[in-house]
Structure formats: C-alpha cells, structure tokens
C-alpha cells in the first residue's frame, strides 16, 4: 500500500507553524507539530491548537493531510523527514551567533529524541546559528551525513533573487543565482554566476547596484528582525518547504544547502569524518543530499569562501568547548 510521507516539525513556533501550513497546502505529507509545554500556563497545548486550526484550512484550501500537535516524541515515529526549528529566535541587536549557547542545548536534546524515535528520517535543521546547529544534529543523531542538512541557502538565495528582481524590474522567476558559505553576514555571493535567463547581471547592472543587492541579501535577516522584533518566518519556511518537496518528490533539485563537506570547496581537506556543514549547491532527492556539486571558484570567490568556512569552524569550536564529545 502506498503511504503519504510523514513530516515532523520540531518547534511549533513561527517557522514551525508556517512550515506545517505550507507542507499541508502542498500536500507533501502528513505533518506532526511537536513543541514543549508552557511552564507558566500548563493548561495550554499550543501544538495541538495550531494543528487543529491548520487542519480546518483543508476544506477551504482543498488539501488532504493529517495534522497532529504533540508534546510526545513517540508521535514522530516513522517520520520520513524531520525539520528542527526548535530554539530561540533573534531579537533586535543580536547576531545569529549570540544564540549558540542556548540553542546548542535545545538542538542536542531534540536530536537525541530524533535518533531514538525517527532513526530513518532525513533531518533538516533551521535553528540558528545554522551551520553549527546542523553539526550538533549530525553528531548527536549519528546519522549518515547525507541524511542531515541545514536550511539557509534556499532562503539566502531567495532574498538575493528578490532584491535583484526589484532592481531590474523583472520577474523573480527569471533570476538564476547562488549564494554559498555559512549562514551569516559572511555568506559568499557569486554575482559572476548570476543571470537573468542566461544574461549575466553584470551586463544589466552596475557593480555598485549588484553589490547593494548582495549586501541587502546578506543583511536580509537582520533587516526583518529590526522591523518585527523577532526573526523572519515566512521566507525561512518557504526555504524549508522547497527542500522537503525536493526530498519527498525525489526531484533532484539543486538547492544551496548546509551539507557535510570535507574536500569540497576546501572546507576540510582530507578530514575523514571530521568535516563541517557549509552552504554548497546540493542535489536533493529521496535519499537526502544525493550529491554536492563542486566547481572551481575564482580567487575572489574562494577567498570569501575561506573566510566563511573559518567562521563556521569557530562556531563549531564553541560547540565543542561546551560539549567535548562533539569533537
Ligand atoms: N523542544 C521542542 N521545541 C522547543 C524546545 C525544545 N527543547 N525549546 C524551544 N522550543 C520551541 C519553542 O517553544 C517555540 O515554540 O521552539 C519554538 C521556536 O519558535 P519561535 O520562538 O517562534 O522561533 P522561530 O522564529 O520559529 O525560529 C526558530 O529558527 O531561524 C531560526 O533563529 C531562528 O533559532 C530560531 C529558530
């Protein structure tokens, strides 16, 4: 008998709730929303409430998907995909890195439960600081690296394309481009490889205008935090859903994702099991990260990439100091 995919979303907050909504709307599978009880108001059950509210969109939006809200990890058993959004979001003035001590503990706890209750799942991490949190999920679950990845590039690329499309006055659908590296202010832009349906953007925009779009994409998350007082959730969720769709529909999409690298892009040459998760173009399909697409960067791109990699290594170093078993 054919079965729907089962997708569990850990952390039913802003990103988790929006993920659940879009996953159901696209009929990508049945969705479990898991969160923790509210200590101050034990009578509430937020994930159950969100699941119930979302389920009642079905007849209006015409989707069939079971939505479950729970505090109990037993309910994620048999998940094909687990999305981890548990953790604190940024407040104005904070960088993603400021979240590291609290979110490492949260993601560690979540990953222990994913390992126990959904041992065959493909895991997509969203919690920040992203590249370090994917590393934590990988170490704690012990899953093969192709089944653990982070959502960051899908979002960063979407921001980059949005600002370029506005600048050029063209449809967002006609911009092709990539951003690589860590999910921080030192993400790596690749304007030379960005085009409007194959026409290089350098033929259409001045260097200054391109740089302005790149800088706005880099600071796009911070811009939203300043406006809303908390992290973005619509576009990050859209990025997650793009990745989940590629996996459950085995689409072999090429999506910039935080994927485990050793020799690729000079991340950790010859590391043999001691590599890092960094944003790279990856082929996403039914097995998870099915392939990392490598290309030779020019000297400037590689310089930016090296800086970004070194930042990711510093963050992982902080995690390893907190939990030496993660070295
Ligand atoms: N287990 C499960 N859920 C947890 C846990 C835990 N141990 N700890 C916290 N949570 C839940 C919170 O109760 C909350 O509902 O995670 C949810 C996070 O939701 P929000 O506070 O709305 O944060 P959100 O905007 O969704 O961002 C989540 O993703 O992009 C990153 O920086 C962002 O780290 C943040 C994460």
Distance 36 CA to ligand 1 centre (A): 10
Residue 283 lies in a domain: no
With the most atoms of ligand 1 within 8 angstroms of its CB, the residue from 33, 44, 69, 89 to mutate is 89
The rounded distance, in Å, linking the Cα atoms of 123 and 144 is 10
pLDDT range class, residue 184, cuts 50, 70, 90: confident
Residue 304 lies in a domain: no
If you average pLDDT over every residue of the chain, what do you get?
97
Is the pLDDT at 52 greater than 90? The verdict is yes
Check: CB of residue 223 under 8 Å from CB of residue 232: no
pLDDT in tens, 253-304: 999 999 999 999 999 999 999 999 999 999 999 999 999 999 999 999 999 9
Check: CB of residue 176 under 8 Å from CB of residue 160: no
Residue 167 lies in a domain: no
Closest CA to 240 of 80, 18, 91: 18
pTM: 0.98
Closest CA to 213 of 196, 237, 231: 196
Residue 52 lies in a domain: yes
Q: Return the CATH number at 46.
A: 3.40.50.720
In the annotation, is 183 catalytic? yes
Closest CA to 105 of 323, 286, 293, 317: 323
Residues with C-beta less than 6 Å from any ligand 1 atom = 10-16, 35-36, 85-90, 99, 103, 106, 109-110, 126-128, 230-231, 233, 236
Total count of domains within the chain: 1
Which residue has its alpha carbon closest to ligand 1 atom 25?
14
Distance 290 CA to ligand 1 centre (A): 28
Residue 14 lies in a domain: yes
CA geometry: angle 186, 192, 198, nearest 5 deg: 130
Residue 310 lies in a domain: no
Token pair, residue 324, equals 């030496």
Residue 15 lies in a domain: yes
Residue 169 lies in a domain: no
* Domain housing 122: 6-150
Dihedral of CA atoms 154, 223, 305, 280 in degrees, nearest 10, equals -10
């Amino acid at each position: 008998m054919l079965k729907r995919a089962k997708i569990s979303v850990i952390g039913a907050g802003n990103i988790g709730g929006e993920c659940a909504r879009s996953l159901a709307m696209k009929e990508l599978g049945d969705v479990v929303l898991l969160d923790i009880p509210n200590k101050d108001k034990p009578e509430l059950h937020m994930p159950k409430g969100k699941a119930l509210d979302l389920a009642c969109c079905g007849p209006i939006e015409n989707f069939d998907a079971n939505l479950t809200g729970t505090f109990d990890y037993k309910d994620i058993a048999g998940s094909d995909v687990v999305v981890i959004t548990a953790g604190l979001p940024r407040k104005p003035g904070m960088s993603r890195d400021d979240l590291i001590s609290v979110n490492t503990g949260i993601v560690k706890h979540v990953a222990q439960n994913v390992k126990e209750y959904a041992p065959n799942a493909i895991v997509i991490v969203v919690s920040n600081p992203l590249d370090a949190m994917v590393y934590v999920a990988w170490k704690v679950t012990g899953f093969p690296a192709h089944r653990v990845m982070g959502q960051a590039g899908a979002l960063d690329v979407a921001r980059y394309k949005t600002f370029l499309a506005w600048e050029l006055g063209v449809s967002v659908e006609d911009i092709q481009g990539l951003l690589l590296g860590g999910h921080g202010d030192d993400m790596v832009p690749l304007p030379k490889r960005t085009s409007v349906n194959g026409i290089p953007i350098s033929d259409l925009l001045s260097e200054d205008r391109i740089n302005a779009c790149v800088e706005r994409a880099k600071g796009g998350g911070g811009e939203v935090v300043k406006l809303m007082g908390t992290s973005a959730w619509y576009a990050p969720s859209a990025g997650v859903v793009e990745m989940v769709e590629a996996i459950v529909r085995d689409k072999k999409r090429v999506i910039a994702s935080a994927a485990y690298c050793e020799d690729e892009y000079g991340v950790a040459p010859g590391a043999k099991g001691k590599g890092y998760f960094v944003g790279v173009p990856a082929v996403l399909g039914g097995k998870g990260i099915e392939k990392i697409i490598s290309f030779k960067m020019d000297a400037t791109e590689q310089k930016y990439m090296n800086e970004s990699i070194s930042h990711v290594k510093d963050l992982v170093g902080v995690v390893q100091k907190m939990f030496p078993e993660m070295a």
